[in-house]
């Protein structure tokens, strides 16, 4: 659906296979670090209740549109996105001053600012606003001159940036949505509160903070226009969501989540990626993860060979994705 670090598109077939074998009748499925939402989307059927959560506002807004819009919302969503396509762009604005000539062409950055302000000024119903913002976020992601995240940019090719900035109608599965819930919260806190059948856990694996990697999309989603600084125009650190999973406390955070969650089936994604570059090394060893899960029930580990590349080292030898399944038999802490 879009470029996103750790997106599980290439693992969906394996995830579907494990769910079908272990818990096909799971009714309430919780995707607690949902990111793009592709895993929740895979399991989203009218008979299931999908709970999706991510602490980034940009993700939560897209997820809101994707998982909560129902057929009765469709017409209004299409009308609003149609109206946005005709929205006039005036002079320079906050977005063009900060991002013009950096992540986007000057013109695309101005359009982003004009569209975001229009959406706020129109006082839309929350679900319609979420779909409209999602459309702008997708267009901005496609038009950004980056390698997929916003910690760096390449020289801007104006023509390419403008050609790729297209406001599309989000391809929402209206008929599958019914009782789904979306949260924008800390995953550990939510997992300790909410009950379900299956919890899918896909946290960050390394030190690269998502709040920093996707700061431009966060800024567009929130449209609060904080002061930005530096070459990549980031907001101050305290305004960027900070994850324990990207620190030396990653194992502690994972242990806490596994011990306190209230579900019957647990499915955890992780990997063994070690790029040799400190920030990209996975933080929790497989044996530690298996021991944590064994504290709740019997564990099966699937190892999936995963051809992947880094800019510095090219093809990474021996990269494996792990999918750990635990049938929970012991109560939460």
Contacting positions for ligand SAM (CB under 6 A): 4, 6-8, 33-36, 38-39, 53-56, 59, 186-187, 202-204, 210, 243, 245
CB of 5 to ligand SAM, least distance (A): 7
Q: Which is nearer to ligand SAM, 39 or 199 (CB)?
A: 39
Provide the sign of the torsion angle of the four alpha carbons 61, 67, 70, 74, taken in this order.
positive
Q: Which is nearer to ligand SAM, 36 or 98 (CB)?
A: 36
CB of 12 to ligand SAM, least distance (A): 9
In angstroms, the CA 233 to CA 84 distance is 26
Q: Which is nearer to ligand SAM, 7 or 142 (CB)?
A: 7
In angstroms, the CA 32 to CA 56 distance is 12
Q: Which is nearer to ligand SAM, 42 or 80 (CB)?
A: 42
- Give the C-alpha distances (Å, rounded to integers) separating 194 from 33, 114, 119, 274: 14, 39, 32, 34
Provide the sign of the torsion angle of the four alpha carbons 103, 108, 109, 115, taken in this order.
negative
Q: Which is nearer to ligand SAM, 103 or 210 (CB)?
A: 210
CB of 38 to ligand SAM, least distance (A): 5
CB of 96 to ligand SAM, least distance (A): 27
- Give the C-alpha distances (Å, rounded to integers) separating 47 from 40, 50, 180: 13, 10, 11
CB of 283 to ligand SAM, least distance (A): 12
Six-digit token string for 54: 């991510």
């Amino acid at each position: 659906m879009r470029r996103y670090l750790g997106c599980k598109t290439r693992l969906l077939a394996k995830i579907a296979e494990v769910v079908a074998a272990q818990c096909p009748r799971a009714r309430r499925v919780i995707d607690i670090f949902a990111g793009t939402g592709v895993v929740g989307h895979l399991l989203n059927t009218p008979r299931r209740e999908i709970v999706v959560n991510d602490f980034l506002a940009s993700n939560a807004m897209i997820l809101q549109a994707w998982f909560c819009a129902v057929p009765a919302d469709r017409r209004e969503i299409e009308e609003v996105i149609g109206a946005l396509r005709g929205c006039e762009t005036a002079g320079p604005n906050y977005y063009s001053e900060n991002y013009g000539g950096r992540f986007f062409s000057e013109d695309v950055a101005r359009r982003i600012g004009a569209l975001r302000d229009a959406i706020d000024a129109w006082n839309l119903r929350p679900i319609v606003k979420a779909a409209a913002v999602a459309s702008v976020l997708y267009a901005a992601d496609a038009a950004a001159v980056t390698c997929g995240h916003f910690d760096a940019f390449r020289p801007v090719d104006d023509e390419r940036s403008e050609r790729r900035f297209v406001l599309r109608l989000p391809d929402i599965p209206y008929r599958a949505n019914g009782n789904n819930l979306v949260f924008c919260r800390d995953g550990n806190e939510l997992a300790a509160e909410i009950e379900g059948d299956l919890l899918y856990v896909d946290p960050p694996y390394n030190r690269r903070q998502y709040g920093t990697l996707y700061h431009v999309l966060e800024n567009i989603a929130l449209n609060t226009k904080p002061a930005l600084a530096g070459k990549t125009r980031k907001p101050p650190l305290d305004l960027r969501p900070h994850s324990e999973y990207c620190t030396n406390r990653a194992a502690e955070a994972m242990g806490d989540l596994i011990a306190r969650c209230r579900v019957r089936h647990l499915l955890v994604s992780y990997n063994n990626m070690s790029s040799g570059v400190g920030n990209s090394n996975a933080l929790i060893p497989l044996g530690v993860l298996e021991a944590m899960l064994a504290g709740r029930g019997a564990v099966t580990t699937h190892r999936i060979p995963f051809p992947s590349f880094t800019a510095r080292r090219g093809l990474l030898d021996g990269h494996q994705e792990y999918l750990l399944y635990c049938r929970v038999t012991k109560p939460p802490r």
